[in-house]
Protein backbone atom coordinates (compact mmCIF):
# COMPACT_ATOMS: atom_id res chain seq x y z
CA UNK A 1 0.00 0.00 0.00
CA UNK A 2 2.82 2.36 0.96
CA UNK A 3 6.40 1.57 0.03
CA UNK A 4 9.53 3.56 0.72
CA UNK A 5 12.56 2.20 -1.07
CA UNK A 6 15.90 3.75 -0.08
CA UNK A 7 14.29 7.13 0.23
CA UNK A 8 16.45 10.13 1.04
CA UNK A 9 14.98 13.57 1.53
CA UNK A 10 17.26 16.55 1.92
CA UNK A 11 15.68 19.96 2.43
CA UNK A 12 17.47 22.90 0.87
CA UNK A 13 20.17 24.35 3.15
CA UNK A 14 19.85 21.50 5.65
CA UNK A 15 22.99 20.14 7.23
CA UNK A 16 21.81 16.52 7.15
CA UNK A 17 19.03 14.75 5.28
CA UNK A 18 15.63 14.65 7.00
CA UNK A 19 15.32 11.06 5.80
CA UNK A 20 18.36 8.99 5.00
CA UNK A 21 18.00 5.87 2.86
CA UNK A 22 14.74 4.86 4.47
CA UNK A 23 13.12 1.62 3.31
CA UNK A 24 9.86 0.35 4.72
CA UNK A 25 6.57 -1.02 3.58
CA UNK A 26 3.08 -0.72 4.96
CA UNK A 27 0.67 -3.32 3.71
CA UNK A 28 -2.99 -2.95 2.98
CA UNK A 29 -5.00 -2.89 6.19
CA UNK A 30 -2.00 -2.43 8.46
CA UNK A 31 -1.78 -0.03 11.40
CA UNK A 32 1.66 1.47 11.91
CA UNK A 33 2.96 3.84 14.56
CA UNK A 34 5.88 5.93 13.40
CA UNK A 35 7.74 7.08 16.49
CA UNK A 36 10.79 9.13 17.20
CA UNK A 37 11.80 12.44 18.66
CA UNK A 38 11.04 15.77 17.07
CA UNK A 39 13.15 16.20 13.96
CA UNK A 40 13.61 12.45 13.52
CA UNK A 41 11.83 12.55 10.15
CA UNK A 42 8.31 11.33 11.04
CA UNK A 43 6.53 14.28 9.47
CA UNK A 44 8.75 14.18 6.40
CA UNK A 45 7.81 10.54 5.94
CA UNK A 46 4.11 11.46 5.94
CA UNK A 47 4.65 14.50 3.72
CA UNK A 48 6.41 12.32 1.17
CA UNK A 49 3.53 9.82 1.21
CA UNK A 50 1.12 12.72 0.58
CA UNK A 51 3.44 14.10 -2.07
CA UNK A 52 3.60 17.42 -0.34
CA UNK A 53 7.30 16.88 -0.82
CA UNK A 54 9.23 14.86 -3.36
CA UNK A 55 11.99 12.47 -2.37
CA UNK A 56 15.50 13.63 -3.21
CA UNK A 57 16.45 10.03 -3.97
CA UNK A 58 14.68 6.70 -3.88
CA UNK A 59 11.18 5.53 -4.67
CA UNK A 60 7.90 6.25 -2.90
CA UNK A 61 4.94 4.11 -3.95
CA UNK A 62 1.48 4.95 -2.59
CA UNK A 63 -1.63 2.99 -3.57
CA UNK A 64 0.18 1.66 -6.62
CA UNK A 65 1.45 5.01 -7.81
CA UNK A 66 5.08 6.01 -8.11
CA UNK A 67 5.02 9.48 -6.59
CA UNK A 68 8.36 10.36 -8.17
CA UNK A 69 6.94 10.20 -11.66
CA UNK A 70 3.37 11.22 -10.85
CA UNK A 71 2.58 14.40 -12.78
CA UNK A 72 1.24 17.37 -10.81
CA UNK A 73 -2.19 17.21 -12.35
CA UNK A 74 -2.66 13.62 -11.10
CA UNK A 75 -1.79 14.50 -7.52
CA UNK A 76 -5.36 15.57 -6.57
CA UNK A 77 -6.77 12.20 -7.66
CA UNK A 78 -4.12 10.37 -5.68
CA UNK A 79 -4.89 12.46 -2.58
CA UNK A 80 -8.54 11.44 -2.75
CA UNK A 81 -7.39 7.99 -1.70
CA UNK A 82 -5.62 9.36 1.34
CA UNK A 83 -7.18 10.87 4.42
CA UNK A 84 -5.06 13.15 6.60
CA UNK A 85 -5.33 14.22 10.20
CA UNK A 86 -3.08 16.70 11.98
CA UNK A 87 -2.23 17.76 15.48
CA UNK A 88 -3.88 21.17 14.96
CA UNK A 89 -7.16 19.73 13.53
CA UNK A 90 -7.24 22.30 10.69
CA UNK A 91 -10.98 22.87 10.79
CA UNK A 92 -12.64 25.87 9.13
CA UNK A 93 -13.80 28.08 12.02
CA UNK A 94 -16.66 29.66 10.06
CA UNK A 95 -18.27 26.35 9.15
CA UNK A 96 -20.30 24.00 11.31
CA UNK A 97 -19.28 20.41 12.01
CA UNK A 98 -21.53 19.23 9.20
CA UNK A 99 -20.20 21.85 6.78
CA UNK A 100 -16.59 21.10 7.63
CA UNK A 101 -17.06 17.45 6.75
CA UNK A 102 -19.23 18.20 3.72
CA UNK A 103 -16.58 20.64 2.45
CA UNK A 104 -14.22 17.74 1.69
CA UNK A 105 -16.86 16.22 -0.59
CA UNK A 106 -18.01 19.47 -2.15
CA UNK A 107 -14.56 20.41 -3.36
CA UNK A 108 -14.14 17.13 -5.17
CA UNK A 109 -17.48 17.59 -6.88
CA UNK A 110 -19.69 15.06 -5.06
CA UNK A 111 -23.40 15.51 -5.58
CA UNK A 112 -25.64 16.96 -2.91
CA UNK A 113 -27.41 13.63 -2.53
CA UNK A 114 -24.16 11.80 -1.82
CA UNK A 115 -23.13 14.48 0.66
CA UNK A 116 -26.49 14.37 2.47
CA UNK A 117 -26.16 10.64 2.88
CA UNK A 118 -22.45 10.24 3.63
CA UNK A 119 -21.79 13.09 6.06
CA UNK A 120 -24.28 12.00 8.77
CA UNK A 121 -23.08 8.39 8.42
CA UNK A 122 -19.49 9.45 8.93
CA UNK A 123 -20.35 11.69 11.87
CA UNK A 124 -22.06 8.67 13.44
CA UNK A 125 -18.89 6.60 12.95
CA UNK A 126 -16.75 9.18 14.78
CA UNK A 127 -19.38 9.62 17.50
CA UNK A 128 -20.51 13.14 16.74
CA UNK A 129 -24.17 12.55 15.88
CA UNK A 130 -26.26 15.40 17.22
CA UNK A 131 -23.42 17.92 17.04
CA UNK A 132 -23.74 18.67 13.32
CA UNK A 133 -24.72 22.29 13.87
CA UNK A 134 -21.96 23.16 16.34
CA UNK A 135 -19.05 25.33 15.34
CA UNK A 136 -15.48 24.15 16.03
CA UNK A 137 -15.00 26.64 18.88
CA UNK A 138 -18.00 25.11 20.64
CA UNK A 139 -16.32 21.70 20.75
CA UNK A 140 -13.66 20.14 22.98
CA UNK A 141 -10.27 19.31 21.49
CA UNK A 142 -11.14 15.64 21.21
CA UNK A 143 -14.39 16.45 19.46
CA UNK A 144 -12.61 18.76 17.07
CA UNK A 145 -10.17 16.01 16.21
CA UNK A 146 -13.13 13.70 15.60
CA UNK A 147 -14.48 16.22 13.12
CA UNK A 148 -11.09 16.26 11.42
CA UNK A 149 -11.10 12.46 11.30
CA UNK A 150 -14.62 12.46 9.88
CA UNK A 151 -13.46 14.85 7.19
CA UNK A 152 -10.46 12.63 6.47
CA UNK A 153 -12.51 9.45 6.05
CA UNK A 154 -15.72 10.82 4.55
CA UNK A 155 -14.51 10.04 1.04
CA UNK A 156 -13.62 6.48 2.13
CA UNK A 157 -9.89 6.67 1.53
CA UNK A 158 -7.79 3.51 1.46
CA UNK A 159 -5.07 5.15 3.53
CA UNK A 160 -5.27 7.36 6.60
CA UNK A 161 -2.21 9.39 7.55
CA UNK A 162 -2.22 10.93 11.01
CA UNK A 163 0.53 13.31 12.07
CA UNK A 164 0.59 13.58 15.87
CA UNK A 165 -3.22 13.46 16.04
CA UNK A 166 -3.14 13.32 19.84
CA UNK A 167 -0.47 15.97 20.31
CA UNK A 168 -2.91 18.55 21.65
CA UNK A 169 -5.09 16.18 23.68
CA UNK A 170 -5.08 14.83 27.20
CA UNK A 171 -4.32 11.09 27.69
CA UNK A 172 -7.91 9.89 28.10
CA UNK A 173 -9.08 11.80 25.04
CA UNK A 174 -6.03 10.59 23.12
CA UNK A 175 -6.97 6.99 23.87
CA UNK A 176 -10.42 7.64 22.47
CA UNK A 177 -9.00 9.11 19.28
CA UNK A 178 -6.59 6.23 18.70
CA UNK A 179 -9.36 3.74 19.43
CA UNK A 180 -11.34 5.46 16.73
CA UNK A 181 -8.40 5.21 14.33
CA UNK A 182 -8.11 1.54 15.31
CA UNK A 183 -11.77 1.00 14.49
CA UNK A 184 -11.32 2.72 11.13
CA UNK A 185 -8.32 0.48 10.53
CA UNK A 186 -10.37 -2.64 11.31
CA UNK A 187 -12.82 -1.67 8.62
CA UNK A 188 -9.98 -1.97 6.08
CA UNK A 189 -8.25 1.39 5.97
CA UNK A 190 -4.47 1.38 6.20
CA UNK A 191 -3.41 3.70 9.01
CA UNK A 192 -0.03 5.30 9.47
CA UNK A 193 0.24 7.43 12.57
CA UNK A 194 3.21 9.53 13.62
CA UNK A 195 3.36 10.10 17.36
CA UNK A 196 5.68 10.53 20.31
CA UNK A 197 3.06 9.56 22.83
CA UNK A 198 4.56 6.62 24.78
CA UNK A 199 1.45 5.35 26.48
CA UNK A 200 -0.58 5.25 23.28
CA UNK A 201 2.01 3.17 21.49
CA UNK A 202 2.43 0.87 24.47
CA UNK A 203 -1.33 0.43 24.98
CA UNK A 204 -2.23 -0.42 21.43
CA UNK A 205 0.60 -2.84 20.65
CA UNK A 206 0.76 -2.29 16.93
CA UNK A 207 3.65 -2.33 14.52
CA UNK A 208 6.15 0.35 15.48
CA UNK A 209 8.65 1.98 13.14
CA UNK A 210 11.12 4.12 14.98
CA UNK A 211 13.05 6.90 13.32
CA UNK A 212 16.12 8.65 14.65
CA UNK A 213 17.96 11.32 12.73
CA UNK A 214 16.26 10.35 9.53
CA UNK A 215 16.98 6.63 9.73
CA UNK A 216 14.84 3.69 10.71
CA UNK A 217 16.31 2.32 13.91
CA UNK A 218 13.58 -0.16 14.69
CA UNK A 219 10.69 -1.85 12.91
CA UNK A 220 8.85 -4.09 15.26
CA UNK A 221 5.55 -5.91 15.07
CA UNK A 222 3.42 -5.26 18.17
CA UNK A 223 6.12 -3.01 19.53
CA UNK A 224 6.21 -0.57 22.39
CA UNK A 225 7.47 2.96 22.35
CA UNK A 226 10.76 3.03 24.10
CA UNK A 227 12.80 -0.17 23.83
CA UNK A 228 15.56 1.03 21.58
CA UNK A 229 15.58 4.62 22.76
CA UNK A 230 18.11 3.79 25.45
CA UNK A 231 20.18 1.92 22.90
CA UNK A 232 19.97 4.82 20.44
CA UNK A 233 23.29 5.27 18.71
CA UNK A 234 25.12 8.54 19.21
CA UNK A 235 26.07 10.91 16.42
CA UNK A 236 28.18 9.25 13.79
CA UNK A 237 27.26 5.69 14.60
CA UNK A 238 24.65 4.10 12.46
CA UNK A 239 21.50 2.69 13.86
CA UNK A 240 21.83 -0.45 11.78
CA UNK A 241 24.64 -1.59 14.09
CA UNK A 242 22.05 -2.05 16.77
CA UNK A 243 21.60 -5.79 16.37
CA UNK A 244 18.22 -6.46 18.00
CA UNK A 245 16.42 -3.89 15.95
CA UNK A 246 18.25 -4.85 12.81
CA UNK A 247 17.16 -8.46 13.07
CA UNK A 248 13.64 -7.36 13.69
CA UNK A 249 13.57 -4.99 10.75
CA UNK A 250 15.18 -6.94 7.94
CA UNK A 251 13.03 -10.09 7.82
CA UNK A 252 9.91 -8.00 7.84
CA UNK A 253 11.11 -5.74 5.03
CA UNK A 254 12.15 -8.75 2.93
CA UNK A 255 8.78 -10.40 3.30
CA UNK A 256 6.70 -7.35 2.55
CA UNK A 257 8.71 -6.43 -0.53
CA UNK A 258 8.18 -9.94 -1.86
CA UNK A 259 4.48 -9.76 -1.11
CA UNK A 260 4.19 -6.42 -2.80
CA UNK A 261 5.81 -7.85 -5.89
CA UNK A 262 3.33 -10.71 -5.94
CA UNK A 263 0.38 -8.44 -5.42
CA UNK A 264 1.17 -6.06 -8.26
Partner 1 sequence: MKISFVLRESAGGLRRNLSMAISVILVTMISMYLLGLGLLANRQVDTMKDYWYDRVQVSVFLCVEGSQYPSCAGKATTQAQRDQIRTQLEQMRPPVKDIFYESQADAFKRFKEQFKNSPLGEQATERAFADSFRVSLTDAAKYDVIVSSFQGAPGVGRVQDQKQLLDRFFAFMNVVSWGAIALSGLMIVAAILLMSTTIRQTAFSRRRETGIMRLVGASNATIQLPFILETVVSSIVGSALALALLYATVHYGVSGYLSKALLDTAFIGTGDVFAIGPIILGGVIALASVTSWFTLRRYLRV
Q: Does 103 bind partner 1 (CB under 8 A)?
A: yes
Identified binder of partner 1 from the candidate list 28, 57, 65, 79, rule CB under 8 A: 79
108 vs 250 by CB, closer to partner 1 = 108
Q: Does 73 bind partner 1 (CB under 8 A)?
A: yes
Work out the angle at residue 78's Cα, subtended by the Cα atoms of residues 190 and 115, and round it to the nearest 5 degrees: 80
First-to-final CA distance of the chain: 10
CA distances from 214 to 89, 180, 207, 222, 228 (A): 26, 29, 19, 22, 15
104 vs 177 by CB, closer to partner 1 = 104
Identified binder of partner 1 from the candidate list 40, 84, 195, 220, rule CB under 8 A: 84
Q: Does 43 bind partner 1 (CB under 8 A)?
A: no
Stretch that binds partner 1, among 68-76, 125-133, 167-175, 236-244 (CB under 8 A): 68-76
Q: Does 114 bind partner 1 (CB under 8 A)?
A: no
- Sequence-distant (6+) residues with CB within 8 A of 4 are 22, 23, 24, 25, 45, 48, 58, 59, 60
Identified binder of partner 1 from the candidate list 13, 15, 109, 234, rule CB under 8 A: 109
Q: Does 169 bind partner 1 (CB under 8 A)?
A: no
Side-chain half-sphere exposure of 262, counting CA atoms within 13 A: 7
Size of the site for partner 1 (CB under 8 A): 22
d(CA 264, CA 141): 41
139 vs 200 by CB, closer to partner 1 = 139
Q: Of 213-232, which residues contact partner 1 (CB under 8 A)?
A: none
- Sequence-distant (6+) residues with CB within 8 A of 172 are none
Which of 4-43 are b and which e, b meaning 16 or more Cβ less than 10 Å from the residue's Cβ? bbebebbeeeeeebbbbbbbbbbbeebbbbbbbeeebbbb
Q: Site mask, partner 1, residues 126-165, x = CB under 8 A?
A: -------------------------x---x----------
Q: Does 106 bind partner 1 (CB under 8 A)?
A: yes
Stretch that binds partner 1, among 11-19, 58-66, 100-108, 174-182 (CB under 8 A): 100-108
Q: Does 75 bind partner 1 (CB under 8 A)?
A: yes
Which of 158-185 are b and which e, b meaning 16 or more Cβ less than 10 Å from the residue's Cβ? bbbbbbbbbebbeeebbbbbbebbeebb
Q: Does 107 bind partner 1 (CB under 8 A)?
A: yes
- Sequence-distant (6+) residues with CB within 8 A of 79 are 50, 51
76 vs 226 by CB, closer to partner 1 = 76
Stretch that binds partner 1, among 29-37, 55-63, 106-114, 118-126 (CB under 8 A): 106-114
d(CA 41, CA 36): 8
Question: Residue numbers of the site for partner 1 (CB under 8 A)?
Answer: 50, 72-73, 75-82, 84, 90, 92, 103-104, 106-109, 151, 155
Amino acid sequence: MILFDQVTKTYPNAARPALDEVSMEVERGEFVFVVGQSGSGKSTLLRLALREERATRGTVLVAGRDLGSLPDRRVPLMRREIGTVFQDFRLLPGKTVYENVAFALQVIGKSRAVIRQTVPETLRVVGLSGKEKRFPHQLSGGEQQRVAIARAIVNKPTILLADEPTGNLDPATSDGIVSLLDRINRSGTTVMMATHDHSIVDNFAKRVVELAQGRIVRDQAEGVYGTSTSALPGEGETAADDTPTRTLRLPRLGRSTRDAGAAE
